[in-house]
Amino acid sequence: MIFRRENDASRLFSRRAAVLGGGQALLLTALVGRLYQLQVLEADRYATLADENRINIRLIAPPRGPIVDRFGRPLAVNRENYRILVVPEQTTDLEATLDRLVRLIRLPAYEQRRVLREARRKRSFVPVKVRENLTWEEVARVEVNAPSLPGVRIDVGQRRYYPYGSDLAHLVGYVGPVTEAEMTGDPLLELPGFRVGKAGMERVHDKALRGEGGTRQVEVNAVGRVIQELSREPGRPGARVMLTVDAALQARAADKLQGESAAAVVMDVHSGEVLTLASSPGFDPNAFSHGMSETEWQQLVNNERAPLNNKAIAGRYAPGSTFKMVTALAALETGAITPETTVFCKGHMEFGGQRFHCWKAGGHGRMNLKSAIQQSCDVFFYKAAKRTGIDAIAAMAERFGMGHKLGLALPSEAAGVVPTRDWKRANQGTAWQRGETLVTGIGQGYLLVTPLQLAVMTARLANGGVAVEPRLTRAVLDPGTEKAPDPAADFPDMAVDRASLARVQAGMDAVTNTPHGTAYGARIRAEGEHMAGKTGTAQVRRITMQERREGVREYDELPWEKRPHALFVAYAPVAAPRYACSVVVEHGGSGSQAAAPIARDILRATQERDRERDQARGPDGTRRRG
């Protein structure tokens, strides 16, 4: 009995040992199989992963493309940017190192705190930027004292530079750091210190100007420290953006506007190329590259003359009498008036129980279309507008480029306002009044336009009714491409009666070139360069009956903000129109005194530059040397 039990126990033990041994053999087989898979079958894959762990591919920011004017003059370029970096692990006392550095260069206390904060957050071998945009003298002082500044080194990067400063600031724009809202997934945007276009053409052409990033392969250790650079693949620099503007002419226009809150636009009446788009006062776009203090920013933001606002495309003004040509064309087209229609101006007109005044208190007497434009008679255009109606006037204004954006792509461009019956009900909640048609006819009331729209209106008047559109970009050229393509201009005809246009042009010619014209004193005297124009004075407040009885004070006696805006539009030369110009001087008073002389000087300079370029070319059209 005992023997049988021992025999059963022996068999049970043998079975358990066999099961255990079999399990161990199975596990060993699985382990050997897995090792074979890893070390033989997938050896190449894991070798690659190991290399990728050891070798990093890092993105290199490409040089930002330049912006140039129509003749290739640089408007936005890259300059060397000397920066101070510090590697925390290479200095035993970072605070003491910064204290020594402060004796050599300007480094505010808040910047020192930033450096210490970044050094605590980053790994000790990662460089921390201390300051950038160093002068050469500051670089020299740091280099001379390098032995006493452990961990500090000079690094050379790039920063954006704008040679023309405030003259072209609104047009060219500026660059700035990437915000979280601007992150689009483009890895370039995540690079430290990378900058993108924030305003102007820098923003419009930002993607083309960025270029394509390069790469570099670096060997790193287990904690990510760079051991050595293995290879480098440079990226593609950004494109060269060529604008239509003439930088020298823009600088002259900016000089004429200096001291005023004003805007000026010059454009080719046939191609639509904008040669000048000036806004005053300006600002220095280089300040955005260097870094602007809070005090400097507040001074810009709180300036009553709005230096950050591009008045040429975003300023909205009542056009005043510069709108009278549109009223005239609408009246002629509808048959409300004829070229022979005359109106007697006694200084005012009664309508709907109200008195509508002419700017000339004593009246102009008997006026026809030409003399009404020449002397800017309000009563003539009150009656023309009354007979024409707001619908026809608004339709003509829209045909001449008002009431909508003109497609420049600049983010701040305003559409302006061309009021209609529907517009007033939708925006004011009331019905259109007949008297509002009269004030619209002389460019007042709800009507608002931009200086650019006034230039486009003038260009379409001058070129015979072709719907020319303004252009600011001549070409976006890949790196290495030198010549821009010839601009193609193919614009539709506006179907405005040529005879009517000729009569309006004759009135504008009389404004500047006949003794009774409102801008005769600002005429261009040079033969072959005469301009035709129209003055405008837009009220910014209602003149009371008390003021009319006592006589309105001289504009320069009024507070600046209560003076009317001064406007002037013109084209030249009269015989063969080539350039259109508009000038608006905020609270400038009289258009004939404040705006017309500026437009005259700008158009003279524009034509002089044409003559200079012609003289610089030989008989075959090639440029002479020397």
Active site residues: 321
d(CA 335, CA 349): 21
DSSP 139-164: HHHHHHTGGGSTTEEEEEEEEEE-TT
d(CA 443, CA 326): 9
d(CA 188, CA 202): 16
Q: What angle do helix axes 378-388 and 434-441 make, rounded to 10 degrees?
A: 130
Q: How many CA atoms lie within 13 A of 226 on its CB side?
A: 12
> For residue 586, what are the CA distances in angstroms to 261, 304, 595?
5, 11, 10
- Residue 208 φ/ψ, nearest 5 degrees: -70, -35
Structure-token pair, residue 333 = 């087209």
Beta carbons of 75 and 68 less than 8 angstroms apart: yes
First to last CA, the chain: 130
Beta carbons of 121 and 99 less than 8 angstroms apart: no
Structure-token pair, residue 617 = 């070319």
Tell which residue, 350, 540, 566, has the closest CA to residue 445.
540
Write the burial class of residue 187 (CB in 10 Å: 0-12 exposed, 13-18 middle, 19+ buried): exposed
449 has which bridge partners?
317
Residues 6+ apart with CB under 8 A from 582: 264, 265, 322, 451, 452, 454, 455, 458, 567, 568, 569, 570, 599
d(CA 332, CA 385): 11
Structure-token pair, residue 406 = 């003109």
Beta carbons of 178 and 196 less than 8 angstroms apart: yes
Q: Tokens 């033989």 appear where?
A: 40
345 has which bridge partners?
365
DSSP 423-484: HHHHHHSSPPPHHHHHHHHTT-TT-BB-HHHHHHHHHHHHTTSB----B-EEEEE-TT--PP
Beta carbons of 591 and 321 less than 8 angstroms apart: yes
Q: What angle do helix axes 378-388 and 324-334 make, rounded to 10 degrees?
A: 40
Structure-token pair, residue 401 = 């480029």
Beta carbons of 533 and 508 less than 8 angstroms apart: yes
